[in-house]
Amino acid sequence: MRDPHAPPIRLLLVEDNPGDARLIETLLAEYGGFEITWRNSLASAKAWLAENGVDVVLLDLSLPDGTGMATVDAMRAAAPDVPLIVNTGLNDEEVGMKAVKHGCQDYLIKGSCDAQLIGRTILYAIERKAIERERLQATAQMKKVLLQTVRAVSLTLEIRDPYTAGHQRRVAQLAVAIGQKLGLAEHVIEGLHTGALIHDLGKINVPSDFLTRPGALSAAAFDVVRSHAEVGAEIVDGIDFPWPVAQMIRQHHERIDGTGYPAGLKGDAIIPEARILAVADVVEAISSHRPYRPSLGIDAALAEITRFAGSKYDPEVVAACVAVIAANGNQVFCDDDPPMPPGL
């Protein structure tokens, strides 16, 4: 039961029918604890919201300037953090479920609700929205801690292998830029960023001599180096990432024509994030100094990926990478951490 000493709940009622509006006001007055503002159009409701705070919105689906789910979407855009309840004259469960899928907390059917049902529905919607906010905040905090841990692991590997210090961070910088150029969703870019920061994690299992030796490696030693993709994936396989990080690590040396390793995957069998990492990894490696050779420069790196676009490398990823480098030059690589994608 609602605390009688609590401040009133500020409710915005968006309803074009005066009779229906008066009924809601009467029923909620009977229930008690509400401060109601009535607006009879979507435009006037949005204008009021721009200037005033509100605890909950009760929305009719048929307004002079908006109908159906378009009305819901418009109100969600105007007040994304406010719980929204649809109040509709359509006694159609499918309509109600569509409203919920579009971000509403609940729905009511006009003419079939008494004061208790309306009041409890509103209180429950406010509570559900509060729980949703808490969950999102907790998820954001968990992602932040996870990324900090990933960065610490990445730094540990770079300290062990000074010749490639910064490699994973620079690959992450370029991979994120490519992902953004390709228009990937924010969540996907977050995962790409995370996977890129530890894509060479498996090298922790490779002897330092193999990583820093200036001369050519024997076939046996090179096989050990090549094992880093599988070893790195195995290390993180048990971590419940919200992205396919283990697959990114395992597949970042696969090539779309099947000539890569460790599994010789082809085409769409390689996840999109790994195809991006493959290009970013090669470009950073060729354009940077290595123990066995000096830097070959960014032009050589672009020539390499362009030459093998459509065979070894995904042509769309290559095109996006070339466009990113053309716009930013070597500035796409920086010694600082890549900027966190939004939400982290």
| Residues 186/219, Cβ–Cβ less than 8 Å | no
Sketch the domain layout of the chain as residue ranges: 9-133, 161-332
211 contacts 161 by C-beta, under 8 angstroms: yes
Q: Is the pLDDT of residue 338 over 70?
A: no
From 183, 181, 198, select the one nearest 241 (Cα to Cα). Answer: 198
pLDDT above 80 for 215: no
**pLDDT higher than 50, residue 49:** yes
The C-alpha atoms of residue 54 and residue 196 are separated, in whole angstroms, by: 42
**Which CATH entry fits the domain spanning 161-332: 3.30.450.40, 3.30.2130.30, 1.10.3210.10, 1.20.5.510?**
1.10.3210.10
pLDDT at 2: 56
Q: Show the tokens assigned to 318.
A: 């290559």
Task: Tell me what pLDDT residue 311 has.
Answer: 94
H-only helix segments in 79-226: 93-101, 115-160, 167-181, 186-197, 208-212, 219-226
Is residue 225 very low, low, confident or very high in pLDDT (cuts 50, 70, 90)?
Answer: confident
- Is the confidence at residue 205, as pLDDT, over 80? no
pTM for this prediction: 0.60
- pLDDT at position 268: 94
- Arithmetic mean of pLDDT, 47-62: 91
β-strands 34-39, 62-63 pairing: unpaired
Per-residue pLDDT, 165:
59
Q: How far is CA 247 from CA 226, 265, 280, 283, in A?
A: 16, 12, 16, 21
Lowest average pLDDT, out of 108-117, 186-195, 310-319, goes to 108-117
**Tokens at 169, concatenated:** 């961070």
- Tokens 């932040």 — which residue? 144
pLDDT one-digit tens code per residue, 83-125: 999 988 777 777 877 888 888 888 888 878 888 988 888 988 8
Determine the distance from the C-alpha atom of residue 185 to the mean position of all C-alpha atoms in its chain, rounded to a whole number: 6
Position 66 confidence tier, pLDDT thresholds 50, 70, 90: confident
Q: Dump pLDDT digits (tens) for 72-86.
A: 999 989 988 899 999
Residues 6+ apart with CB under 8 A from 304: 282, 283, 286
Phi, psi of 146 (to 5 degrees): -60, -45
- pLDDT given for residue 341 in this prediction: 46
Per-residue pLDDT, 315: 97
CATH of 9-133, one of 3.40.50.2300, 3.10.20.30, 3.20.20.140, 3.30.420.40: 3.40.50.2300
